[in-house]
Amino acid sequence: MLLPNQSHLAYTLNLYQYVKNTDSIVKVFSKIDLSHVYDLCSHFYSGSTRGRTADYRPQDALRSLMVMYHVGFTSINKWVKELRETPRYAYLSGFSPDKTPSKAYFSWFTSMLFGNDFNINDTLLQGTLLKKIFELIFVNKSIELGIIDPHDKVIFDGCKVKSFSKQKYIPEKYCRCSKYGIKPFKCSMSSDSEATKGYDHNLDEFLLGYGLHLAATPMVNNPSKCLPLSFFVTGADTHDSKMFSPLLMYLYHNMKIDINYVILDSGYDAWYIYWWIKLLGGKPIIAINPRSSNTPTAVNEYGLPRCNAGYAYYYWGIDKKTRRYKWRCPIKASKKLAKKLRCDNRCCSSNYGKTVYTHIEEDIRWFTQVPRGSQLWKDIYSRRARIESVIGDIVLNNDLKSPSFRGTKNFFVRTALVCILQHAKAIAETLRNLEYQNLAV
């Protein structure tokens, strides 16, 4: 059975009895109302009146984890010890210093927030309740206060994170995984079977771990900073562009956010991404990938692509999967044309000849709604670098780049806590400024 709910006012009044209201941490958590977490997490506990009453409320447990990251702790083991030894942290969490949770309680609580009744590989269903708390209590509050406007601009990006995984045994010597084609990091003898191997472009190396795919939006009054909107956690072998469509559709359908400008780096420079953004009424601001940055091909009076020598390319069929036409150099593709045409300045040294593609629909990759290269395009794309500070705060400043834990659940929950804390700080600062303005009037 669950303890009776406690209002946010009751929490703050009890907190002010033991901790000064000028305390830096009190200034943040005294403004964040977590009383709605009680109803969202009430199904964790038995409804029978005969059972033992729970020792802690769910909003206090969540608040305690937020305080843990706010003061710089990343280990739950150390935090449990700190709660017992420092009464100030217990009062800030909403606990009594004489009775604080154990590590087992926090592990159970985070597991319930993440969810246990779904496939761990289904990224769309992971942490549904924790995401709901994040969106209802924090993201919506930031939108309500005018801190962010996700309907204007949203930035997408991702990063790779190493897992705290060690190979317990030498696979070739002690197990038969390699014989049956099982990769070493999927071996049952690995200490983190959920981690996968992927390439990190920043480190320029392969790593064993996870991938964080994040959507963020600039702050209205301070465009140099961003706040996260949502995220997915996958294996490190999943490319950022593959998770763009699920993340965009999640924002559109689940969070009811219709985006005006979608800002992406060159890793998302794929035709189908432009198509998805245009389908939902957005305007893509995407850098061209240097590996596929050929300029649009010139056309003749019939609309057919032509080469530098002025000859029309030779039609070489249609790719139904990518919905585009293929064209080859006429001299290389046709023996009959090779006898008639002359080219003194060949544009390709390959025996196959230069190949170009044209889309069945208009080429929205190059001819975007905001003209590529215009001043407006440059001004909007300059906002993309702001998401790097969000990822840096989530990953680098909170011990997630080289974590001391394993598993998708732990990485997801800790990422969500950091995102929640970022919104909490912005909400508390805005509410304090509003109070000052009202007092000044």
Looking at the domain assignment, is residue 3 inside a domain? no
Q: What is the pLDDT of residue 132?
A: 93
CA distance 28 to 254: 28
CA distance 298 to 346: 16
One domain for residues 98 and 38? yes
One domain for residues 307 and 235? no
Looking at the domain assignment, is residue 351 inside a domain? yes
Amino acid at 14: N
Q: What is the pLDDT of residue 85?
A: 92
Q: What is the pLDDT of residue 222?
A: 84
DSSP of 214-264, one letter per residue? EEEEEBSS-TT-EEEEEEEEEETTS-GGGGHHHHHHIIIIIS----SEEEE
Contacts from 359-366 at CB under 8 Å and sequence distance 24+? 359/271, 359/323, 359/324, 359/325, 360/318, 360/323, 360/324, 360/325, 361/275, 361/323, 363/296, 364/271, 364/274, 364/275, 364/278, 364/284, 365/269, 365/271, 365/274, 366/295, 366/296
Is 90 exceeded by the pLDDT of residue 2?
no
Measured in whole angstroms, how far is the alpha carbon of residue 188 from the centre of its chain?
29
Q: CB count, 10 Å around CB of 9?
A: 10
One domain for residues 311 and 270? no
b vs e for 354-391, b when ≥16 Cβ sit within 10 Å of the residue's Cβ? bebbbbeeeeebeebebebeeeebeebbebbebbeebb
Most confident of 113-117, 197-201, 213-217: 213-217
Q: What is the pTM for the complete model shown?
A: 0.81
User: Of 417, 425, 431, 410, whose CA–CA distance to 133 is shortest?
Assistant: 417
- Give every CB contact of residue 82 below 8 A, 6+ residues apart in sequence: 73, 89
One domain for residues 235 and 279? yes
CA distance 89 to 341: 82
What would the mean pLDDT of 375-398 be, rounded to a whole number? 79
CA distance 169 to 349: 50
Measured in whole angstroms, how far is the alpha carbon of residue 53 from the centre of its chain?
38
Looking at the domain assignment, is residue 203 inside a domain? no
8 A C-beta contact, residue 374 and residue 385: no
Q: What is the pLDDT of residue 171?
A: 45
Q: Half-sphere exposure of 100 toward its Cβ, with a 13 Å CA cutoff? A: 22
Q: What is the pLDDT of residue 174?
A: 47
Q: What is the pLDDT of residues 87-117, one digit of tens each?
A: 999 999 999 999 999 999 999 999 889 887 6
Q: What is the pLDDT of residues 290-349, one digit of tens each?
A: 766 555 666 666 567 888 888 888 888 888 777 778 888 888 888 888 888 888 777 777
8 A C-beta contact, residue 147 and residue 430: yes
- What torsion do the CA atoms of 216, 222, 224, 226 make, to the nearest 10 degrees? -20
Residue 175 burial (C-beta neighbours within 10 Å; 0-12, 13-18, 19+): middle
Domain count, the chain: 3
Q: What is the mean pLDDT of the chain?
A: 83
Is 80 exceeded by the pLDDT of residue 389?
no
Amino acid at 254: N
Q: What is the pLDDT of residue 392?
A: 74
8 A C-beta contact, residue 312 and residue 306: yes
What would the mean pLDDT of 388-408 be, rounded to a whole number? 71
Looking at the domain assignment, is residue 273 inside a domain? yes
Per cent of the chain over pLDDT 90 is: 32
Q: What is the pLDDT of residue 400?
A: 66
Q: What is the pLDDT of residues 55-77, one digit of tens each?
A: 889 999 999 999 998 988 888 88
Tell whether the torsion through CA atoms of 322, 324, 328 and 333 is positive or negative.
positive
Residue 262 burial (C-beta neighbours within 10 Å; 0-12, 13-18, 19+): buried
What would the mean pLDDT of 420-431 be, rounded to a whole number? 93
Per cent of the chain over pLDDT 70 is: 85
Higher pLDDT, 399 or 377: 377
Beta-bridge partner residues of 227: 217
Most confident of 50-64, 104-118, 120-134, 251-265: 251-265
Beta-bridge partner residues of 261: 153, 283
Is 50 exceeded by the pLDDT of residue 231?
yes
One domain for residues 393 and 252? yes
Task: Give the residue from 114, 145, 178 where a domain finishes.
Answer: 114
Q: What is the pLDDT of residue 169?
A: 41
One domain for residues 385 and 410? yes
Task: Give the residue from 359, 380, 395 where a domain finishes.
Answer: 359
Looking at the domain assignment, is residue 122 inside a domain? no
What would the mean pLDDT of 391-397 be, rounded to a whole number? 71
One domain for residues 311 and 251? no
Is 80 exceeded by the pLDDT of residue 364?
no
Q: What is the pLDDT of residue 201?
A: 78
Task: Give the residue from 86, 114, 142 where a domain finishes.
Answer: 114
One domain for residues 350 and 385? no
Is 80 exceeded by the pLDDT of residue 189?
no
One domain for residues 342 and 407? no
Contacts from 108-111 at CB under 8 Å and sequence distance 24+? 109/44, 109/58, 109/61, 109/62, 110/65, 110/409, 110/410, 110/413, 111/409
Higher pLDDT, 375 or 164: 375
Q: Which two tokens stand for residue 7?
A: 């209002």
Looking at the domain assignment, is residue 186 inside a domain? no
One domain for residues 224 and 317? no
CA distance 42 to 5: 10
Measured in whole angstroms, how far is the alpha carbon of residue 291 from the centre of its chain?
25
What would the mean pLDDT of 118-128 be, rounded to a whole number? 75
Q: Which two tokens stand for residue 280?
A: 């939902």
The domain containing residue 149 runs over which residues?
A: 128-165+210-283+370-432
Q: What is the pLDDT of residues 132-185, one digit of tens each?
A: 999 999 999 999 999 999 999 999 988 888 887 654 444 444 455 555 565 554
What would the mean pLDDT of 363-390 be, rounded to a whole number? 80
Instruction: Tell me whether strands 261-264 and 283-286 are parallel, antiparallel or unpaired.
Output: parallel
CATH of the domain at 243: 3.30.420.10
One domain for residues 24 and 147? no
Q: What is the pLDDT of residue 183?
A: 55
Looking at the domain assignment, is residue 289 inside a domain? no
One domain for residues 410 and 330? no
Q: Which two tokens stand for residue 239?
A: 């490319």
Looking at the domain assignment, is residue 416 inside a domain? yes
What would the mean pLDDT of 41-47 be, rounded to a whole number? 81
